[in-house]
Amino acid sequence: MILAAGRGERLRPLTDSLPKALIEVRGQSLLERHLRAMHAGGIRDVVINLGWLGATIRDRVGNGDAYGLRVDYSDEGENVLETGGGIFRALPMLGKEPFLVVNADVYTDMPFAEHVLPADAVGHLVLVDTPDYRRRGDFDLLDGVVKNAEDPTLTYSGVAIYRPEFFSNCEPGRFSIVPMLRRAADEGVLRGSHYKGLWADVGTPERLSMCNIENETE
């Protein structure tokens, strides 16, 4: 699943007429970069949630044939449901096995490889080094187990794998997945890995410009 419903307020005015997921870095939209990476990783079925200017995404991606994928959509309309609510709404489309979730607004070269979840794990988070513009990280990682900490050193990348059962106690509506992740970390049922390659959160015009400048020098 690709989370692409957000308004992208911090990227205005770019996102006044273009969905955040279709912002381009070096001539390729973030969303289409993810789709091609998913195909390269062996994924064939993708769900994209839609919200702000969702029809533009649907028109660009279509049924996924151009990317070697089968793409379906979970259209939230004007009532964007945040991370937890958006995933929960799409669960009937995601099947009964663990599924990958990727935030559309991250720029990365990480391979979307399959992570095998232990029987006692509800999910797997890919963590990255905390960027300079953030005051603190999100989690720590100890022997592959995600932990809450007073001074966490790693940041959630926006890439994860979840079991559908992780959402079994949720109710329809708008809610963030963050409190669920915090509880799972406290309970020791959240696994993780530390990715040290290319990754950026393209959340502001400044970060977008930085991604383009850095790529021009490669």
The least confident of 130-134, 176-180, 182-186, 208-212 is: 208-212
2-216: CATH topology: Spore Coat Polysaccharide Biosynthesis Protein SpsA; Chain A (3.90.550)
8 A C-beta contact, residue 110 and residue 159: yes
Span 101-123, mean pLDDT? 89
Residue 13: is the preceding peptide bond cis (ω within 30°)?
Answer: yes
Q: What per-residue confidence (pLDDT) applies to 216?
A: 46
What is the value of pTM for the model shown? Answer: 0.91
Examine the pLDDT at 206 and tell me if it is beyond 90: no
The domain segmentation of the chain, as residue ranges, is 2-216
Comparing 13 with 87, the larger pLDDT belongs to 87
Q: What per-residue confidence (pLDDT) applies to 218?
A: 44
For the stretch 20-72, pLDDT in tens is 899 888 788 999 999 999 999 999 999 999 998 999 999 999 999 999 999 99
